[in-house]
Structure 1
Amino acid sequence: MPRTPSRLATPSRGDGVVALASDVFGGPLGRYAGLGRRPWTYAAAVLSALASVLVALGIVQKNHCVSAGWSTPGSLWRACYSDLPAAVTSQPGASPWSTGGAGHTQPVLTAFLTWVLRRLTPSGVGLAEQRWYFALAAIVIALLIAATVVATAALLEGTPWQAAHVALSPVLITASLVSLDIFGVALMTVGLLAWHRRYPLVAGLLLGAAISARTFPAVVLIAVVLVAWRDGRRQDLGRLLGGVAVAIVVSLCMAYAVGGDPMEPYQAWSDQAAGYGSPWLIAQIAHVTIPANALTALAVIGWVLALVVGVYLATDRERNLPVAPLALAMLVVVMVTGKSMPVQNALWVLPLIALCGLSWRDHLVWAGIEVAYFAGVWMYVGTSFNPEKALPGAAYSILTMARLLALVGLVWRAILTHGELERERIVADVVPEWWLPEPAGATAVRPD
């Protein structure tokens, strides 16, 4: 029986946004076009190159700061603020935990990456040195995005062009150069690829490193564990967790070896008040004060709630969710209950959007709200400099709520999309066999 092309295998035929775009760029896929003649590496190479263009557009978007500096309030009114130049406010020390080093505010591996970039930055004065650091960081970020695109395409060998959700997302222009969050995203995605390719120890090492670079990959790890336990991959699961433990222990030992305290950023987080992007900040704008310890408790409850949601969805045999939508659902719970949700958090969900097989309409609705929030949050931050010019608190609250609802909408669409694809019996065309497992008790039947 011939394989029926799916919406994801031929997006220009099934995805309305892609079909509309194909009228401008290249044209839709022809009736007699051959599918699958090029390997997934072709799509990965093309998309990686296109992703670098979006990073370049991000530099253009921050042109004012590149030209005039990242000082406030100018960086706020021009929406070009970035955490990256802050790394050159002091001389590079002997370790990331030296005076002014990133180790005091960043997880271990991100602190080390920041320190290495600082050491590579040519000596200069003021803005010149910041420009050098920003340029080096931009190159590293472009490479990390390329690695994420390649890993996503490799996970979706049958439909590698779905990795365009990572490479061509508008949020790359606004959020990719704000911080080094993409470091954790890249490690996480490559770790998922290693798990998919049946290298559990390597996957554990990579996911452990991702957790040491950013905390959020721990949510994805939990999703992998739940699905692996459900599907009977107990032996692989042991190797995976062993690798995670080794990576985290090595990262902690690296920090202690250079005299640093890797727990310092988390201790600072526990004392942190409600930050930008958090629903708890809306309460503060409404003159309802929530103490820092209560916010910490709420954030911890969010992690527990995410685990409960993950267990429920993973054990629901009717849905039989794979890793991607399960991880997305759990991640969104953690994000919307956290103390803050900065603009760069948008990067966290890009690989999961691709792996869930969401349509570009869903992606662009969410990304449009993210871009609107990106512009609005800096205008709100500028309140302390010029209240008359700044965005009012009520308008900022509306943008924040819209952003939170858009994330919840992504989860809803991801679960619905998985159900639709299974009902149409085109699962084998969407993603590799393991990534979307067969329903419990079913016999795998692959079309000729």
Structure 2
Amino acid sequence: MSGAHPDDVAAPSREDPAAAALSEGIGGPVGDHAAPHRWWTPVRVLLAITAVMFVFGMLQKVPCWDTQWTDNDTRYSRMCYSDVPYLYVGRGFVELNWPYSDDEETRARFDVMEYPVGISYFAWGTAWVTHWVSGSPDISDRPEVPVGDLYGDPQVLEERNNYVAVTAVVLGGAALLGAWFLARTNRRRPWDALPYALSPVLVFNGLVNWDVLAVALVAGALWAWSRDKPVLTGVLIGLGTATKLYPLFLLGGVLVICLRRRAWTDFFAATVAAAGAWVLANAPAYVSGPDEWKVFWTFNSERGADLGSLWLVLSQAGHDFSDHEINKASWIFFIGWCAAVLVIGLLAPQTPRLAQLGFLVVAGFLLVNKVYSPQYVLWLLPLAVLARPRWRDQIIWQSGELLYFCAVWWYLGGFLQPGSGDHAGFYWLAIVLRMACEVYLVAIVVRDILVPRHDRVRHQGVEPPRSRRLHDSATHSPRAS
């Protein structure tokens, strides 16, 4: 790997007991006299593994593909559901409509995309590629066909499968880009990205929605920050926020780090760059259809307790909360959580890493959010694997996510419904266990921050370049002496 001597690269099978035990199936821990392969560098190995795992994710959707996404029983019993094919028709991409068109006839036929602009642009762009792959079918007569009939049109069904395939290929590229960024964030620790490359949650959740796009941008922001590029970090955070809201929370981690280092210029540069990138990304949508652009914001503010959240458990258990009460309570908890992360970050013996702080903030948002869809685990994935690169803890956390992945589809399919007709208690249990595994990982990351000797990244002496540079300048300054 460029930038690091092979002997300096940390080997998981040497420093991680769980990785050492798992390595027995492929020859055991790396030996003292092991020589690196001339071509198979750690980064290339990680990219190859990510590609193979994402292909497994595509194969996992085959049962729904074979039924052209029309069999409700299959999509839940075989757990192959994806939002992608249904929105191809439901949001007007079947007619190549611009997602933010304010045309009255278009808006009467199709709902507005309820996602941030990055996803909407991507979904629209892949629709154009799909039509080209499908032989550029004549769509001039489609506006005259009732939308309900389009769902059963054989040509549209074939296009819809092509749309899923095109989307999967491009999202696979985004997953590879995320792996590349993560592997290069710490020059001496490329293998910290291995739990990402081998992640079962990437396999099962990668094609449920378009969240992998934001994952790649978050991984890019972590890489850019490790390379002393605050402006590029801000640009990637801004683009990520235009794709999914949560990358914005990384600025909280940047703030804590800059407060400790008194690096006000870096925080200002990252924040301004993020705001500028977000505005530029949103401009085409806002200019073409301001009311349509606002749908994402109104949709989320008016949303009630939904899948995966503790609010849903409480609501189904008989505690009736209005949407306003849930919004208010969620924001109060989240603000308090962010304040706690700020205090932890400022009191830590050493400056925490951005992945650690970002993980804590995003985890707090998800734990109290009124919806916790199965694919939201991808938001945490790049942050979690760098915040706590330990196989035991990653396995515990992702096991909870896999349990929930199974439970949510069986719940939606009615397979967990008790004979008495009551609410599905096993689904509640899956929600609680999922969150318990996440809280466990949160606790471990907090411990690593407050007691750095538990943090293997710190223990190895790996620090972000900027922290070393500032430390050196402070050591040699008159004030320090």
Q: Same fold (TM over 0.5)?
A: yes
Question: Counterparts of 1:130 and 1:435 in 2: how far apart (Å)?
Answer: 48
Change beyond 3 A, Cα 1:313–1:92: farther
Q: Alignment partner for residue 279 of structure 1, among 289, 310, 320?
A: 310
14-23 or 169-178, which deviates more: 14-23
Q: For residue 277 of structure 2, what is the aligned residue in structure 1? A: 247
CA drift at 1:200: 1.8
Gaps of 5+ in 2: 138-153, 477-481
Change beyond 3 A, Cα 1:101–1:206: farther
Question: Percent identity of the aligned residues?
Answer: 26
Change beyond 3 A, Cα 1:441–1:309: farther
Letter paired with 1:12: S
CA contact (8 A) 1:321 1:436 kept: no
CA drift at 1:383: 3.0
Q: For residue 201 of structure 1, what is the aligned residue in structure 2? A: 231
Does 2:31 correspond to 1:30? yes
128-137 or 229-238, which deviates more: 229-238
Q: For residue 159 of structure 2, what is the aligned residue in structure 1? A: 129
Question: Counterparts of 2:175 and 2:420 in 1: how far apart (Å)?
Answer: 35
Q: For residue 17 of structure 2, what is the aligned residue in structure 1? A: 16
TM-score (structure 1 length as normaliser): 0.89
Letter paired with 1:143: G
Question: Counterparts of 1:190 and 1:167 in 2: how far apart (Å)?
Answer: 15
Question: Counterparts of 1:142 and 1:229 in 2: how far apart (Å)?
Answer: 37
Deviations 1:208-245 (A, max 9, x none): 01001001111112111221222122112221111111
Deviations 1:148-175 (A, max 9, x none): 1111111121010111121111111111
Alignment of 1:314-325 (within 5 A): 314-318=345-349, 320-325=351-356
Alignment of 1:155-166 (within 5 A): 155-166=185-196
Does 2:371 correspond to 1:359? no
**CA RMSD after TM alignment:** 3.1
Determine helix, strand or coil for the equivalent of 1:104.
coil
Letter paired with 1:107: P
Deviations 1:349-395 (A, max 9, x none): 12112222331111111111111110111111123997659995211
Q: For residue 85 of structure 1, what is the aligned residue in structure 2? A: 85
CA contact (8 A) 2:116 2:296 kept: yes
Does 2:458 correspond to 1:427? yes
Question: Counterparts of 1:384 and 1:329 in 2: how far apart (Å)?
Answer: 34
CA contact (8 A) 2:21 2:28 kept: no
Q: For residue 168 of structure 1, what is the aligned residue in structure 2? A: 198
Question: Counterparts of 2:385 and 2:280 in 1: how far apart (Å)?
Answer: 31
CA drift at 1:142: 1.0
Letter paired with 1:339: K
Q: For residue 222 of structure 2, what is the aligned residue in structure 1? A: 192
415-424 or 360-369, which deviates more: 415-424
Change beyond 3 A, Cα 1:281–1:426: closer
CA drift at 1:438: 10
Q: Alignment partner for residue 183 of structure 1, among 193, 208, 213?
A: 213
Question: Counterparts of 2:111 and 2:35 in 1: how far apart (Å)?
Answer: 51
CA drift at 1:283: 0.6
Deviations 1:248-284 (A, max 9, x none): 1112211123225322111011111111110000011
Letter paired with 1:359: R
Question: Counterparts of 2:297 and 2:62 in 1: how far apart (Å)?
Answer: 33
CA drift at 1:16: 2.5
CA drift at 1:197: 1.4
CA contact (8 A) 2:201 2:378 kept: yes
Q: For residue 262 of structure 1, what is the aligned residue in structure 2? A: 293
Change beyond 3 A, Cα 1:290–1:193: same
Question: Counterparts of 2:433 and 2:417 in 1: how far apart (Å)?
Answer: 25
CA contact (8 A) 2:73 2:413 kept: yes
Alignment of 1:110-125 (within 5 A): 110-121=119-130, 122=134, 123=137, 125=155
CA drift at 1:441: 11
CA contact (8 A) 2:448 2:454 kept: no
CA drift at 1:424: 8.4
Q: For residue 105 of structure 1, what is the aligned residue in structure 2? A: 114
Letter paired with 1:284: S
CA contact (8 A) 1:148 1:189 kept: yes
Question: Counterparts of 1:69 and 1:406 in 2: how far apart (Å)?
Answer: 35
**More relative contact order in 1 or in 2 (CA 8 Å, sep 6+)?**
1
CA contact (8 A) 2:231 2:273 kept: yes
Letter paired with 1:151: F
Question: Counterparts of 1:237 and 1:155 in 2: how far apart (Å)?
Answer: 19
CA drift at 1:287: 1.8
Letter paired with 2:428: S
Deviations 1:380-434 (A, max 9, x none): 1123997659995211111100111111111111233455653689727364434
Q: For residue 367 of structure 2, what is the aligned residue in structure 1? A: 336
User: Which one has a bigger Cα radius of gyration?
Assistant: 2
Letter paired with 1:109: G
Determine helix, strand or coil for the equivalent of 1:155.
coil
Q: For residue 47 of structure 1, what is the aligned residue in structure 2? A: 46
Question: Counterparts of 2:439 and 2:466 in 1: how far apart (Å)?
Answer: 23
CA drift at 1:246: 0.7
Question: Counterparts of 1:321 and 1:444 in 2: how far apart (Å)?
Answer: 20
Question: Counterparts of 1:186 and 1:86 in 2: how far apart (Å)?
Answer: 24
CA drift at 1:79: 0.9
Change beyond 3 A, Cα 1:438–1:414: farther
Q: Alignment partner for residue 412 of structure 2, among 381, 386, 392?
A: 381
Question: Counterparts of 2:321 and 2:469 in 1: how far apart (Å)?
Answer: 46
Determine helix, strand or coil for the equivalent of 2:26.
coil
Segments of 4+ moved more than 6 angstroms: 384-387, 423-426, 435-445
Letter paired with 2:206: S
TM-score (structure 2 length as normaliser): 0.83
Question: Counterparts of 2:381 and 2:323 in 1: how far apart (Å)?
Answer: 30
Q: For residue 394 of structure 1, what is the aligned residue in structure 2? A: 425
CA contact (8 A) 2:241 2:247 kept: yes
Change beyond 3 A, Cα 1:18–1:404: same
